[in-house]
Amino acid sequence: MIEVPLPRFEEMVSDALDLIPPELTQMMDNVVVLVEDRNPDEPSILGLYEGFALTDRDWNYGGDLPDRIMIYRAAICEVCDAEDEVVDEVAITVVHEIAHHFGIDDARLHELGWG
């Protein structure tokens, strides 16, 4: 386990978002990425996508609050032993949750190596 201060962790999340190709980030719609320590219902999960995937939206989608991608700092730090491991896990988690925004499910993510 390693402790990463919140400002440094938020920087890691920002850096991970910068790794997403611009063509994809331009297609992201009505979504916000937030950092919290843990999910209160499932404290061991590293990230969570909450919302309506782009593939599930239809003509009557509109006026909704933004979808949320949660990245859980304490949970990620708990499974890592060094800062470079945190950087890698943050990147994997960010990609994983953004993929859910695009309608890619866990099974397909595992096939692609982003389990």
Please give the average per-residue pLDDT across 27-50, as a whole number: 93
Judging by beta carbons within 10 Å of its beta carbon (0-12, 13-18, 19+), is residue 85 exposed, middle or buried?
middle
pLDDT tens digits, one per residue of 54-68: 777 777 777 767 889
Torsion, CA 72, CA 67, CA 96, CA 76, rounded to 10:
0
Please count the other Cβ atoms lying within 10 Å of the Cβ belonging to residue 72.
23
pLDDT higher than threshold 70 for residue 115: no
